[in-house]
Structure 1
Amino acid sequence: MGERVKTARSHREEPLDAAVRPVSLWRDRDYMAWWSGNGLSSLGTAVSTLAFPLLILDTTGSAAQAGNITAAQMIGTLATLVIGGALADRVSRRLVMAVSPLVEALALGAVALLVYRSDAPVLALAALALVSGLAGGLRTAVAAPALRRLVPKEQVATATAQGMGRDMVAHIVGTSLGGVLFSVTRWVPFLFDALSYLFVTLGTLVIRRPLGPDRDPDTRSGPRPGMAADIADGLRMVRRSGYLMFTIVWGALLNAVAEGFTLLFIALLHHRGGGPTQVGTATSLALVGGVIGSFIGPWLMRRLGALRVLHLAAWVFAASFAVIVWVPEPWQIGLVLLVGMTGMVPLNVVTESYQVRLIPDAYLGRVAATSRFCVQVVQWAGPLGAGFLADAMGVRGAILVLAVAMITLALALFGGSRQLDLLRTPLGEVRELPLLTPERPAHP
């Protein structure tokens, strides 16, 4: 049963007076509880993400076995994303946000125990990673609708950017911390990650605002449609908006290209004589670029407008593909990646923040989860295709092919100008799509 709210319009924010500036999110107690809890969880995830392959490589020497652990967790997340989106629109989001991390904590705690006892078969580790992924998919699905309740509409882009920047900083710190903890003793990184999930639950429980969903008045006098019908309604809502249809498909293709590029830049560094230290440095520079992008993204949206930022970011990212082929030194490759990621993050801020503002609260869980699922379900094709290209035509040739693909995606933004016309509207003035009703079905 969804949470009750004190007023009938709790999730439909009224426009602020032009003279009133929103209070800084850093001074918002509820927002900070959400931000810090999820930040500590991201730090723990970065620690265990490094520790898992190190553990498997040390015990089995098999890179394929290490990949199986990562694949199991990703499969688990994808398996529950869409279901989690439907749950976010029909049961207490606070409950999902509080319980799912506890399941993740138990799974990682069990991993720590197995490693501590020197009894950690790969099959058991993969099963626990799958369980963690299943719970993580539910938690991820609730994130967007919960954030919508926590921040004013004028600050959605800022909150989205701050979340991206937080996770990138956590990844930078967590990668180094994971190596240190693993060198101390193998089980400590997994216990660290298990404990980090508890802060998500704690942060959720101290939030005072209702997180929804509101009770649907159409279901008070009769049974509510099943989960399959809820998921179908989410898809109908996506089809109603040309903006959503375009950005979901475009974002999925972009994600596949970006994942392929990630593999190839490591191969290029190796080809240029870079060792593990150089790879780590270049990766850190890329993440620093992401952090910079998270800071300037909302500022650029206010100064240039969301549509211009989207075009500019896409072309900056495309240019980084082409330039990286010609720079000779590993540190120069890192600097090019820094610039590319500085453009990539504002692009994501634009698409995600407008999606959050466009979708009514009653459907946001389903639509956000469907969008994330579509984007992630094809990301495996990027590294796979990039690997085949590198074997067939060399690393430089493969990167140039991806550069052409990225330029094509940037040009597609001009072709989708009608679907992207929404981005000409300031974020705070975006009107929600009308609710679906049985009497008035959605039209594409």
Structure 2
Amino acid sequence: MSGRESGPASGRDAPPSLWRNPDYAGWWTGNTVSAVGTSLSAISFPLLVLYTTGSVARAGAIGAANLAGVLLTTLLGGALADRVSRKAILVLSPLVQGAVLGAVAAAVATGHATMPLLVAAAFAGGLAAGVVTGAETSALRRIVPKEQLPTATGQMMGRDLGAELVGAPLGGVLFAVARWFPFAADAVSFAFASAGALLIRRPLGPDRSAADRGSGVLGDIAAGIRFVRGQPFLRFTVVWGALLNTVTEAFTLLFIALIRYRGGGPAQVGLISSLALLGGVAGAVAGPSIARRVRPRRVMYAAAWAFAAILAACAFVPRPWQIGAVVTVAMLTMVPLNVVLQAAVVRVVPDEFSGRVAAAGRFGTMALQWTGPLIAGALASAFGVPGAVLALLVPVTLLALALHLTRSLAAMDVLAQDAAAEPALEKAATEA
């Protein structure tokens, strides 16, 4: 390890458990409550449209609007995280998201939840989410030691999956009881995320001087993009991830539509989604250990080919619960992919660039993601729901083959596991 460590336990051979870190534990808890709330509304948005209009395309429009909002403010959020108080961003952004969900709940309760309003609300919520994501990565590396980042990343990913595990069936049940209920619950949950960030005592930065900020927001954004472009493994994973995320978003909507196509109701959609998430939770638990022992490219191989296999299987299994069982197995390899890649990137990017580089990478991987729900709707209209799932098999197979043809992943293996490579990254940050 270099001397440039982050977090409260820098230099310790055996840092204490993350649960003994009050800043991390409090922030994690607040975000856990918020994640449960978000999972309630995430499943309720498509249910509201699918069981009101029966249109996959309209449900896709809401998902696309949310992702487009996130995309528009991701780069700005990364630049702001390296210029203004990260804590203020983490406190205020969830309050904006809560206000948006509160407006949706009121509209649904009063019968005024029109498609334009739902699309606008999803877009506004995405704008706020894009701003906050830039500060989250930078804050995490201030709160925990660098050597514990894989563990923290796995725990936070496990938290999100666990929240979906609870929230998906609960959202289906609450939606069946009162359609406005899941949205109201999500609105309240954002207050917990804000409170968790407010109680963090450790300085979250940034520590840049006025001279360092002289380039302006646009200059900061450009520097983050240059850093990503200058690293072959970052370049490849951003492009590859953008295409994979697009397919994943399309399948996420088709997964719900396929369960409905096989005869499942709203409550069954939630329960079967939870079944699939069990594999994700297990993958998140195993993720930190995998990140320490397995080269990133091997994890990428396994995840890509597993995704191809589940697409083929899901299109043909006849019962809703079988769809969930197939996805459960695949999630055991898909989730560790995110843990491994996030931990590798966070470890090697300098703190003063963390917000900008994280935002540039996230922007790149999300650049096409908003089209996923729209693609799902178009494919379902053209080929039916099972046919649309099979159609996604073509791009996933090509992405899996691309992993075996590129040379960029060898560099990522070295940088992810060799601390001696850090000076090269610091040099790249200086040049950017």
TM-score range with shorter-chain normalisation?
A: 0.7 to 0.9
Alpha-carbon deviation of 1:291?
0.8
Q: SS in structure 2 opposite 1:155?
A: helix
Q: Residues 12-57 of structure 1, C-alpha deviation per residue, up to 9 Å, x if partnerless?
A: 899746xx32322222211111211111111111222344455567
Q: Which amino acid aligns with 1:422?
A: M
Equivalent pair of 1:238/1:367 in contact (CA under 8 Å) = yes
Contact 1:153–1:427 (Cα < 8 Å) also in 2: no
Aligned match of 1:4: none
Contact 1:85/1:368, CA 8 A, preserved across alignment:
yes
Distance in structure 1 (CA, Å) of the matches to 2:110 and 2:388: 45
The aligned residue for residue 28 of structure 1 is: 21
> Which amino acid in structure 2 is aligned with residue 157 of structure 1?
P
Structure 1 distance, partners of 2:264, 2:178, is 28
The residue that corresponds to 1:313 in the other structure is 303
Question: Where does residue 417 of structure 1 map in the other structure?
Answer: 407
| C-alpha distance in 1 between matches for 2:74 and 2:405 | 30
For residues 292 and 140 of structure 1, the distance between their equivalents in structure 2, rounded to whole angstroms, comes to 24
Q: Could you list the per-position Cα deviations for residues 100-121 of structure 1 after superposition, in whole angstroms to 9, with x for gaps in the alignment?
A: 1122222223334445555555
Unaligned runs of 5+ in 1: 1-7
Tell whether the 8 Å contact from 1:41 to 1:193 is kept in structure 2 after alignment. Answer: yes
Counterparts of 1:180-259 in structure 2, within 5 Å, are 180-216=173-209, 218-219=211-212, 224-259=214-249
**1:98 aligns with one of 91, 114, 118:** 91
**Structure 2 stretches lacking a partner, 5+ long:** none
Q: Is 1:364 paired with 2:357?
A: no
Seq. identity, %: 51
Q: Deviations over 1:58-83 (max 9, x none)?
A: 88887766555444433322221111
What aligned pairs does 1:132-151 form with structure 2 within 5 A after superposition?
132-151=125-144
- d(CA) in 1 for partners of 2:135, 2:119: 25
Alignment of 1:286-297 (within 5 A): 286-297=276-287
Deviation for aligned residue 1:387: 5.2
1:349 correspondence with 2:342:
no
Q: Give yes or no for the alignment of 1:177 onto 2:170.
A: yes
Note closer, same or farther for the CA distance 1:305–1:60 as it changes in structure 2 (3 Å cut): closer
**TM alignment of 1:268-417, pairs within 5 A:** 269=259, 279-325=269-315, 327-385=317-375, 388=378, 398-417=388-407
Q: Write the distance in 2 (CA, Å) between the matches of 1:189 and 1:120.
A: 14
Kindly report which structure 2 residues correspond to 1:11-160, keeping only aligned pairs within 5 A, or say none: 11=6, 16=11, 20-53=13-46, 67-115=60-108, 122-160=115-153
Distance 1:63 1:398 in 2: 11
Q: Residues 61 and 343 (structure 1 numbering): CA distance in 2 closer, same or farther, change over 3 Å?
A: closer
Matched length: 428
Cα pair distance change 1:95/1:280, threshold 3 Å: closer
Query: Which structure's CA Rg is the greater one?
Result: 1
Q: Is the 8 A contact 1:306 1:424 kept in 2?
A: no
Greater alpha carbon shift after TM alignment, 190-199 vs 228-237:
190-199
Structure 1 residues 268 and 360: CA distance shift in structure 2, 3 A: same
d(CA) in 1 for partners of 2:57 and 2:243? 26
The 1:130/1:322 distance shift into structure 2, 3 A limit, reads: closer
Q: Is the 8 A contact 2:173 2:266 kept in 1?
A: no
**TM superposition score normalised by structure 1:** 0.84
1:244 Cα offset (Å):
0.6
1:303 maps to a residue whose letter is R
In structure 2, the partner of 1:431 is: 422
CA separation of 1:279/1:361 partners in 2, compared to 1, >3 Å: closer, same or farther? same
Taking a change above 3 Å as real, the CA distance of residues 322 and 64 of structure 1, as seen in their structure-2 partners, is: closer
**What is the CA–CA distance in structure 1 between the aligned matches of 2:54 and 2:389, rounded to whole Å?**
29
Q: In 2 relative to 1, CA 12–143 (structure 1 residues): closer, same or farther, beyond 3 Å?
A: closer
C-alpha distance 99-229 of structure 1, shift in aligned 2 (>3 A): same
- Range that drifts further, 148-157 or 118-127: 118-127
8 Å CA contact 1:150–1:209 kept in 2: the answer is: yes
Q: Quick one: distance in 2 between partners of 1:354 and 1:237? A: 15
SS in 2 for 1:21: coil
Q: Which has the higher helix share?
A: 2
Query: 2: distance between equivalents of 1:393 and 1:128?
Result: 30
* Paired residue type of 1:256: T
Cα pair 1:158 1:298 within 8 Å, conserved: yes
**TM-score computed with the length of structure 2 as normaliser:** 0.86
